[in-house]
């Protein structure tokens, strides 16, 4: 079973709006990563946040991590049509090596 669960499963917004996606996980982690995937191709790494970090920024992306709630959120500000993609959170649990992905949030940004 997958550890990460993204919410919502799908999101449709207008260009210029902000998009927020949430991720929950079940066990203690080393780090949490967010990836983007366009049209069933390879995944692109967006951002990695370590378990001792609470917030991280990269361009229009903002990621938060709440280890007490075992949850993370990804905020994309001022969205563009090119942001249309599936977004996945992925966790590496403490003491392990495998990266566990959630089922993803499908984001559609309308121009």
Residue with tokens 């999101």: 11
Strand partners, 93: 29
Kindly indicate which of the ranges 11-19, 30-38, 60-68, 70-78 contains the residues binding another protein, using the contact rule CB under 8 A.
30-38
99 and 88 in contact (C-beta within 8 Å)? Answer: no
Which residues, other chains included, contact 101 with Cβ-Cβ below 8 Å and sequence gap of 6+?
2, 4, 35, 88, 89, 90
Q: Give the nearest distance from C-beta 54 to another protein in angstroms.
A: 18
Which position among 78, 81, 82, 103 is part of the footprint of another protein (CB under 8 A)?
103
Subset of residues 60 to 99 that bind another protein, contact rule: CB under 8 A: 88, 92, 96-99
Out of 4, 63, 74, 85, point to the residue binding another protein (CB under 8 A).
Answer: 4
């Amino acid at each position: 079973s997958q550890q990460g669960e993204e919410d919502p499963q799908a999101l449709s917004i207008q260009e210029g709006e902000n998009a927020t996606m949430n991720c929950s996980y079940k066990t203690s982690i080393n780090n949490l990563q967010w990836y983007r995937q366009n049209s069933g191709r390879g995944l692109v790494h967006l951002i990695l946040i370590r378990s001792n970090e609470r917030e991280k920024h990269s361009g229009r992306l903002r990621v938060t991590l709440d280890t007490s709630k075992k949850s993370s959120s990804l905020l994309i500000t001022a969205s563009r049509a090119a942001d249309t993609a599936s977004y996945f959170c992925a966790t590496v649990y403490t003491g392990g090596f495998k990266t566990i992905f959630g089922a993803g949030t499908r984001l559609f940004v309308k121009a």
